[in-house]
Amino acid sequence: MIAVVKDDAYGHGAEAVAQALSDDALLFAVSSVGEGARLRAAGIGKDILVLTPLLSAEDALRAGYYDLIAAAASAESLALAAGLRAHLVLNTGMNRYGFSPQTIEWACRRARALGVRVEGVFSHFYDAADAEARREQTRAFSEGCAVVRRFFPETLRHLCATGGILAGGEMFDAVRPGLGLYGYAPPPFENSLGLLPAMQVWACVGQETRPYGGGAGYAAAPRAFSALHTLCAGYGDGFFRAGGLDAVGKLCMDACVREGRLPFGKKVCVLDDAAGYAAQHGTTAYEVLTALRNLERQYDG
């Protein structure tokens, strides 16, 4: 298992998640060299793969210093990875990053000439739910891996993220669960495995108010209220300004006004189902989770 903990482990706290999974994961995957460096600073000793290709000489120096595994996806990022550990990225149809099947042999020859220590090769499904697209990408990946292994026989091959796993995709040598680690299935997949959300998000009551005047936050109160309280959570913490959190009207940046009495200092669970909250706002759990910041997290034991 390559545990994907990019973007602060999808809002769950990358250091805490990596420490919790350190006995189970073969390696961890992050989005940037900076994220990898933070895991090293937190004492994570397992291998760390940076999924975004190197972008600068500074990135390359930091990757080497922190013993991170670089992603090499183009002539430019391959050159930056000279002398480093790396996984080659194979473009099988997503067209985000990677060498095409027509150029992967050149990439292998160039990597060998540059002294890149190629330890793996990976790709990504652009629509894991599309069986025909999945078969075509799997075929292209398998053929590309055969080329890579002619040059680097021990390369670790990985293709499936959470969607690919749920679709029954070819596992090769490893899988890269991301969203599934945190208890959610990516759309359009149903949660057939019975995944449970791993985290709750909590906020504190900052004031209880006997209403005065005609407002409720940044709007006129829709009706008369006998009591209101202010919860210290808002769109600055990653929630949607348009509403939610049982707020009266729109959220403020760091607060929301709600109906009823709650005492100062009381902690309130404001999110325990990112998929449900996302559905209310026409988006996905990915967007909800990765936007979260500042608030207290509690984890399922």
Write the burial class of residue 142 (CB in 10 Å: 0-12 exposed, 13-18 middle, 19+ buried). middle
Give domain status of residue 194, yes or no.
no
pLDDT attached to residue 244? 83
Last residue of a domain, one of 182, 209, 244: 182
Same domain as 147, residue 215: no
Q: Structurally, how many domains does the chain consist of?
A: 2
pLDDT bracket for residue 30 (50, 70, 90): very high
Name which residue leads in pLDDT, 297 or 113.
113
**Which residues constitute the domain of residue 75?**
2-182
Kindly state whether residues 162 and 213 are assigned to the same domain: no
Residue carrying the six token digits 């149809």: 93
- Residue from 6, 182, 184, 250 carrying the catalytic annotation: 6
Q: Do 278 and 247 have their domain in common?
A: yes
Q: pLDDT digit string (tens) for 44-76?
A: 999 999 999 999 999 999 999 999 999 999 999
Q: For residues 117 and 47, state if they share a domain.
A: yes
Domain-located, residue 190? no
Domain boundary among 120, 151, 182: 182
Average pLDDT over every residue of 69-84: 98
What would the DSSP string read from start to end of 196-249? ---EEEEEEEEEEE---SSBSSSSB-SS--S-EEEES--GGGT--TT--TTBSS
278: in domain: yes
Give 103-147 pLDDT, tens digit per residue. Answer: 999 999 999 999 999 999 999 999 999 999 999 999 999 999 999
φ, ψ at 168 (rounded to 5°): 80, 30
| pTM exceeds 0.85 | yes
Q: Quick check: 50 and 63 in contact, CB under 8 A?
A: yes
Composition of the chain by helix, strand, coil, percent to 5:
30, 20, 50
Q: Assess if residue 287 is contained within a domain.
A: yes
Q: Are residues 252 and 158 in the same domain?
A: no
Residue 72 and residue 156 in one domain: yes
For residues 131 and 224, state if they share a domain.
Answer: no
pLDDT tens-digit map of 211-261: 999 998 888 898 999 999 999 999 999 999 987 899 998 999 999 999 999
Q: Are residues 232 and 272 in the same domain?
A: yes
Question: Of 148, 182, 216, which residue constitutes the final position of a domain?
Answer: 182
Specify whether 218 is catalytic: yes
pLDDT at 300 over 80: no
Q: Is residue 105 located within the same domain as residue 241?
A: no
The answer to whether residue 122 sits within a structural domain is: yes
Asked if the model's pLDDT at residue 167 lies above 90, the reply is yes
For this structure, is 97 an active site residue?
A: no
For residues 168 and 208, membership in a common domain is answered with: no
Q: Are residues 243 and 105 in the same domain?
A: no
Question: Residue 190: its pLDDT value, please?
Answer: 86
CATH number for the domain harbouring residue 42: 3.20.20.10
CATH code of 258's domain: 2.40.37.10
Map tokens 């020859």 to a residue: 109
| Domain assignment present for 189 | no
Amino acid identity at 65: Y
**C-beta atoms surrounding 242 within 10 Å:** 12
40: in domain: yes
Q: Is residue 204 part of a domain?
A: yes
| H, E, C per residue of 113-125 | HHCCEEEEEECCC
Per-residue pLDDT, 179? 97
How far, in Å, CA of 234 to CA of 227, rounded?
A: 20
Select which of 10, 182, 218, 266 is catalytic: 218
100 plus 211 within the same structural domain: no
